[in-house]
């Protein structure tokens, strides 16, 4: 009986030692894997970027009576590059830009005031812009402006 207790005790000790060694080996392996992954990320000269589609709708009018502007130029600069396009019959233009990039966007159309804005790409986004017609200044307004400026600086 004494011999049997000793054998059981030795078996239990061997199982505990094997279990402890296994846990230590797994922790060491996981730590090395994490260090290798971190070193790969640090040493990789090519950061991982990916592209998404940004949709622009360009319209004129107010409320529900908006009319798409066909042929408006949409240009995005900055970030990891640039893209440009022209609106279709629905006033829609899709540009492919890089996530986490900061872009300046310029929207131009004949007879309409230019739109210029900046934004950061965080995911696929949709923008809707309402353009307003250009206001032509009359010769009288320009003449009045020059007259006022001349009076100010002649004093």
CATH number at residue 55: 2.60.40.10
Of 2-11, 43-52, 129-138, the least confident: 43-52
Residues 36 and 102 in one domain: no
| pLDDT band for position 140 (cuts 50, 70, 90) | very low
Q: Token pair of 87, please? A: 């609106």
What is the structure's pLDDT at 80?
76
- CB burial of residue 85 (10 Å; 0-12, 13-18, 19+): middle
Assess whether 114 and 71 both reside in one domain. yes
Record the pTM.
Answer: 0.57
What contacts 59, CB < 8 A, 6 or more positions away? 66, 67, 68, 69, 91, 128, 129, 130, 131
- The predicted-structure confidence for 44-75, as pLDDT tens digits, reads as follows 555 557 889 999 999 998 777 789 999 999 99
What average pLDDT is seen over the chain?
Answer: 80
pLDDT score of 23 = 76
**146 within some domain:** no
Residue 46 is predicted with a pLDDT of 53
Residue 153 lies in a domain: no
In a domain, 155, yes or no: no
Give the total number of structural domains in the chain: 2
The number of beta carbons lying within 10 Å of the beta carbon of residue 8 is 10
What pLDDT sits at residue 153? 53
Domain that holds residue 23: 1-46
Least-confidence region, from 111-115, 128-132, 150-154: 150-154
Taking Cα atoms as reference points, which of 42, 37, 50, 44 lies closest to residue 98? 50
Inside any domain, residue 138: no
């Amino acid at each position: 009986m004494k011999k049997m207790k000793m054998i059981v005790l030795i078996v239990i000790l061997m199982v505990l030692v094997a279990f402890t060694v296994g846990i230590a080996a797994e922790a060491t392996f996981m730590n090395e894997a994490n260090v290798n992954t971190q070193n790969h990320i640090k040493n990789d000269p090519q950061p991982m970027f990916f592209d998404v589609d940004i949709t622009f709708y360009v319209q004129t009018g107010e409320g529900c009576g908006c009319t798409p502007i066909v042929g408006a130029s949409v240009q995005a600069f900055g970030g990891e590059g640039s893209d440009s396009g022209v609106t279709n019959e629905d006033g829609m233009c899709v540009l492919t830009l890089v996530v986490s990039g900061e872009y300046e966007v310029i929207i131009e159309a004949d007879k309409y005031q230019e739109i210029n804005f900046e934004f950061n790409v965080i995911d696929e986004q949709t923008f809707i812009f309402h353009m307003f017609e250009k206001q032509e200044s009359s010769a009288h307004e320009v003449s009045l402006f020059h007259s006022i400026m001349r009076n100010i600086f002649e004093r």
